[in-house]
Amino acid sequence: MSTISSLVSTSNNSSSSSTSAAQYDRFQELGTESFLKMMIAELQSQDPLDPMDNSKMLEQINQIRSISASDSLTKSIDSLQMGQSMSTASGLLGKNITGQDIIGNNVTGKVDKVVFEDGKPMLFVGNTIVDLSSVTGMTE
């Protein structure tokens, strides 16, 4: 655990009064790959006469599984949200909407086209771009 401990102390050397919450937040930022690299480095540098306790090893394995599950859940939720946005935006094609353009002006008109930009659906009312999240009303 010396590698992990040194990472914590290195990241907090500017302030000796750092709380454990700040250290915890730094560990939450680790991805699966970074965590695996740290764990492998720790295993390679441990003293063979005083190996890591099995419970600590299991704790680290469970942390890897937790990080992996969290990453997978986040990707699934993002994908679901994108699918729902696509469905909602495509359902507005040909409908009259009221919303705001990209500079905040109110726009009312028929949705002619839907384009996805940076994962967000943008509705075209004539030549004006309307963000789906700004739509406040819809009529047939």
Q: What are the pLDDT digits (tens) for 108-128? A: 999 999 988 887 888 999 888
To the question of pTM greater than 0.75 for the whole model, the response is no
Average pLDDT, the chain: 76
Residue 99 exposure: Cα atoms within 13 Å on the Cβ side: 24
Closest C-alpha to 101, from 129, 122, 126: 129
Q: Is the pLDDT of residue 4 over 50?
A: no
Q: Is the pLDDT of residue 85 over 60?
A: yes
The CATH label, of 3.30.67, 2.40.70, 2.30.30, 3.30.70, for the domain at 92-139 is: 2.30.30
Which helix (H) or strand (E) segment is 59 a member of? helix 54-91
Q: Is the pLDDT of residue 14 over 80?
A: no
Q: For residue 110, what are its two tokens?
A: 């028929």
Closest C-alpha to 32, from 62, 68, 73: 68
Place of tokens 């986040």: 74
Q: Residue 110's pLDDT is what? A: 93
Q: With b meaning 16 or more CB within 10 Å and e meaning fewer, what string describes 31-68?
A: ebeebeebbeebeeeeeeeeeeeeeeeeebeeeeeebe
Distance CA 81, CA 76 (A): 9
Asked which of 20-34, 39-53, 63-77, 104-118 is least confident by mean pLDDT, the reply is 20-34
Q: Could you tell me which residues come within 8 angstroms of residue 140 by beta carbon, excluding any fewer than 6 positions away?
A: 95, 96
All CATH 2.30.30 domain ranges in the chain, comma separated: 92-139
